[in-house]
Amino acid sequence: MLEEYNLIRLETGYTLKKFDCGDKDLNEFYKKDSFDYLKQLLAVTYIFEAKNKAVAFYSVSNDRIAIRDDMPKSEWKRKVQKFLPHPKRRKDYPAVKIGRLGVCEEEQSSKLGSEILKFIKYSFTANNKTGCKFIVVDAYNKERVINFYKKNDFAILCDNIKEDEQTVLMYYDLARFIRP
């Protein structure tokens, strides 16, 4: 499916093609903030394009997954540390953050978003130049969004989510992609 599109790494001065995913925040990031993040070395944005429009984009940056103050240590051990050899257990681990992921409205039911997540997983396991144990995302605290990431094997890091929180921290262990 992704082979149908050109993959563009956003560079300063690039002329963006039209894009609308139906989300004001994501559309604004694509049109404006992606250049600011690039200039400030905060994130790199990749765009999947068809002839006359962008069909999807995502941005990634370095991050870490760490135990939170409001997270019980037993939950941290159960979710994160249980898969690591005991001498290697730490309070944080290297991660890549999906800062934004948007798919145009016409393609939102086509599994393109899932294909992009597979592509990102592959990108950080094949010939990766740095250690990266996890992919993390601050998913919108909306059932549809959380279910999308769950269907793609992401898990919620901290179980005590408040209703008024705008995002939910979710993670994926890249070792699962290497050894499914």
Q: Which residue has the tokens 């941005």?
A: 59
Q: What is the pLDDT of residues 62-97, one digit of tens each?
A: 999 887 667 677 777 777 777 676 656 677 889 999
Domain with residue 56: its CATH number is 3.40.630.30
Number of domains observed in the structure of the chain: 1
Please say whether the dihedral angle defined by the alpha carbons of residues 166, 47, 59 and 89, taken in this order, is positive or negative.
positive
How much is the pLDDT for 50?
93
List the domain range (segments joined by +) for residue 43: 2-178
What are the start-end ranges of the E strands in 77-132?
A: 92-103
